[in-house]
Structure 1
Amino acid sequence: MRKIERQIEVIEQLDQFIRLGETGTPDQLAEKLEISKTSLFQIIIAMKQLNASIVFDIKLQSYVFEKSTNFRYGFYTRRLYGEEVLEVSSNGTQSIIASVDFKYPSLRIV
């Protein structure tokens, strides 16, 4: 589990460095993030696959976002309303079941 946490931490740090315009070259950035250059490129590829518009600006000597980009990762809670119920299965997983009030009143979204 620690490996995943570290990867998320690196992505968050990379996102912050990009927003501040302080990444520097790939070598400098890998050093700041305390990862190898190969790992850096793998993380950038993964972020691009998640629609981050990351490019390297030669003039600035820094990675930048071409388009306005927001990064948010994690699990978020919300208050349940009406007939929504939280269903917990025997294996510990949870899902929200919501009764929907329209043409098909017995329809449940799982």
Structure 2
Amino acid sequence: MQIELFLRLEALDFLIRTKSTGTPKSLARRLAISERTLYDSLDAMRDLGAPICYCRSKRTYYYSQQGSIGIRFRKSQQDLSGGFSGEMSA
């Protein structure tokens, strides 16, 4: 995936968690993407297991279960300064 897609998914995740997406049309405009690209992005998030729903009365997407999508490098808590001590396996 491209970095642009990662950033888009991260932005979508935040807006969905805060229930502040607005309608699909306004959300696509807000993210400067087409509605088709928005729907593709939402489908990608669903493929990752995100339980995304839409509330017509509140006009927002939301998660039906609490959670978030995280796409970031996280450093290990182990001290890696001592060099490599194990073997790599395929």
**Which category of TM-score, normalised to the shorter sequence, fits these structures?**
0.7 to 0.9
Please give the secondary structure, in 1, of the residue aligned with 2:84.
strand
Are the aligned partners of 1:53 and 1:69 in contact in 2 as well (CA < 8 Å)? Answer: no
Give the equivalent residue in structure 2 for 1:13: 11
Q: Whose strand fraction is larger, Structure 1's or Structure 2's?
A: 1
CA distance in 2, matches of 1:53, 1:40: 16
Change (3 A) 1:86 1:74: farther
Unaligned runs of 5+ in 1: 88-96, 98-107
Structure number with greater CO (CA < 8 Å, separation at least 6) is 2
Q: Deviations over 1:21-47 (max 9, x none)?
A: 110110000001111100000010000
* TM-score relative to the length of structure 2: 0.82
CA distance in 1, matches of 2:84, 2:72: 19
1:86 aligns with 2:87: no
Larger-gyration structure (1/2): 1
The total of aligned residue pairs comes to 87
Q: Percent identity?
A: 26
Question: Root-mean-square deviation (CA), in Å?
Answer: 2.3
Give the equivalent residue in structure 2 for 1:41: 39
